[in-house]
Amino acid sequence: MSPIKPHGSATLHPLYVADAAQRAALLDAARSLPKLVVCSQAAANAVMLGSGYFNPLTGYMNLADSLAVAENMRTPGGLFWPVPIINAVKDASAIRSAKRIALLDPNVEGNPVLAIQDVTAIDQASEAQMKRISEKVFRTTDPAHPGVKNFLAAGACFIAGPIQVLNYSYFAAQFPETFRTAGQIREMIRRNGWNKVVAFQTRNPMHRAHEALVKIAMERVGADGAVIHMLLGKLKPGDIPAEVRDACIRKMVELYFQPHTVEITGYGFDMLYAGPREAVLHAVFRQNMGATHLIVGRDHAGVGSYYGPFDAQKIFHEEVPAGALQIQIFEADNTAYSKVVGDVIMMREAPAGHKKEDFVMLSGTKVREMLAAGQDLPPEFARPEVAKILMDYYQREKEAATVTAA
């Protein structure tokens, strides 16, 4: 199989200004430009655009593009795209007449310049339009949904136009061993001599079920290697911080995967929790980074009970047009340790007569309770070396909370 092409173009077009002299000139020019501190989601969009993950987009969408993408996953120009990529604010009066603006990073101390944007349109979305986008992208307008909450909080004024990205926010500095651009991963895949490549999306530490899922997918598609690609941006309260997840994954790969078969990488984006639509976005930017297959499991990119357990798989059959993407989807079921089989298996493939109690399964709440109490997780559920990293984290959090309370 030949290396997979980026989405929407023959070659990758990252928006990061790689030339140091040009970057310095733009930073100098930014001093005299109107400035806008963007929201965290818009900053993450800039990082993804700069990294080449959102190829072939050239910047932020206007309201018409956003509505078209929300409604039918295509821009008015015909580009297949699953989620609006926007720079939204509550009030644009300070830049209303500007043709060019400097976008400031909300997530780095001092709000440095993140990108330069040419303003092609400033559109005010109506309440009905915001509701429609929310309904289509998140399948809910419930403000308790973390993605809807962030979308509405950003504002309804869409600032559209191409951007030139000047840095990768905090991601490259905070995660130098893990953060990689789409182009860097393509080069990594080329250097490894891999043709078939499985991508695994994660925002959580990897337990034995995840480990087995990657191995099963690699075997069944005949992959040369796997890229574990973790989200490094903002999550909802209570989720495990990226640096802890990173340590867990590195320990698992070091001890339990064959050498030179897995690359550990990360990307700078805030979680949308958009379920099916976010799964399609994941497929788009995994194609851009050179993966030929993406594992889509149970409740992929979901939260709470907003989506059916396999809606993120169904969307690829029911709503994604044939030929819209080159990347292939590996559809996975829940995986768990079977006491009968003596190994981790996909539950739908369990031998006849299997009962729920034959599997070793723990809820996220139960896992957190056990770790916070200093209790070992079952070895059938978590590798002991990984569990220790998690337990140490939860113990530190518990001690910090005790000190704060005192």
10-residue stretch averages of pLDDT, the chain, 406 residues long: 85 98 98 97 98 98 98 97 98 94 98 98 98 98 97 98 98 96 98 98 92 98 98 84 93 96 97 97 98 96 96 98 97 94 94 92 85 91 95 87 70
Tell me which H or E stretch contains 265.
Answer: strand 262-267
Kindly name the residue from 204, 250, 334, 368 that is annotated as catalytic: 204
Contact 15/134 with Cβ under 8 angstroms?
no
Ranges for all domains in the chain classified under CATH 3.10.400.10: 20-172
Residue 325's closest CA among 6, 45, 84?
A: 6
* Topology given in CATH for the domain delimited by 20-172: Sulfate adenylyltransferase (3.10.400)
Q: At what angle do helices 311-318 and 276-288 cross, to 10 degrees?
A: 70
* Nearby residues of 20 by Cβ (< 8 Å), 6 or more positions away: none
From residue 255, alpha-carbon distances to 248, 250, 384 in Å are 11, 9, 11
Residue 337's closest CA among 208, 144, 161?
A: 208
Find the angle CA(177)-CA(367)-CA(346) to the nearest 5 degrees: 80
Domain 177-400 = CATH 3.90.1200.10: no
CA–CA separation, 321 vs 68, rounded Å? 15
What type of residue is 124? Q
Tell me which H or E stretch contains 311.
Answer: helix 311-318
Residue 281's closest CA among 133, 83, 135?
A: 83
Q: What is the pTM of this model?
A: 0.95
CA–CA separation, 303 vs 293, rounded Å? 24
Ranges for all domains in the chain classified under CATH 3.40.50.620: 177-400
Examine residue 176 and say whether the peptide bond preceding it is cis (omega within 30 degrees of 0).
Answer: no
Cα-flanking dihedrals φ and ψ of residue 163, to 5°? -130, 155
CA–CA separation, 69 vs 59, rounded Å? 15
Kindly name the residue from 23, 74, 203, 368 that is annotated as catalytic: 203
| 369-389: burial string, b at 16+ Cβ within 10 Å, e else | ebbeeeeebeebbbbeebbbb
Contact 115/124 with Cβ under 8 angstroms?
no
Active site residue 277: no
Active site residue 132: no
**Which neighbouring-strand residues pair with 265?**
229
**Strand duo 121-124 + 157-165: pairing:** antiparallel
CA–CA separation, 330 vs 325, rounded Å? 14
pLDDT given at position 1:
42
Question: What would the two tokens of residue 249 be?
Answer: 């994954």
φ/ψ bin of 341: left (φ > 0), alpha (ψ from -120 to 50), beta (otherwise): alpha
